[in-house]
């Protein structure tokens, strides 16, 4: 990114941070859960069956395989 700042870099790379900033600005955000491992996410989904969207954050968004 050309012309970015540490703040805008964090908005770009850290989804949870970006969502917090939107919420602070009064923008409605959808519920979200953050996980540090794939197994934790699977456990959550199995315990809470529903429709989900998976959005990687940070370094995970650079990995293109499961």
Please state the φ and ψ torsions of residue 59, each to the nearest 5 degrees.
Answer: -65, -30
Distance between CA atoms of residues 21 and 64, nearest Å: 27
**41-50 pLDDT, tens digit each:** 999 999 999 9
Tell me, yes or no, whether 17 lies in a domain: yes
CA 13 to chain centre: 9
Tell me, yes or no, whether 51 lies in a domain: yes
The structure's pTM equals 0.58
Tell me, yes or no, whether 11 lies in a domain: yes
Tell me the chain's radius of gyration from C-alpha atoms: 14
Tell me, yes or no, whether 12 lies in a domain: yes
* Structural domains of the chain, count: 1
Which residues, including other chains, have CB under 8 Å from residue 52's CB and lie 6 or more apart?
A: 45
**3-59 pLDDT, tens digit each:** 789 999 898 888 889 999 999 999 999 888 888 888 999 999 999 999 998 877 666
């Amino acid at each position: 990114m050309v012309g970015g700042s540490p703040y805008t870099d964090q908005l770009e790379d850290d989804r949870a941070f970006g969502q917090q900033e939107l919420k602070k600005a009064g923008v409605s955000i959808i519920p979200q859960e953050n996980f540090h491992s794939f197994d934790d996410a699977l456990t959550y989904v199995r315990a809470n069956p529903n429709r989900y969207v998976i959005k990687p954050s940070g370094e995970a968004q650079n990995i293109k395989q499961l």
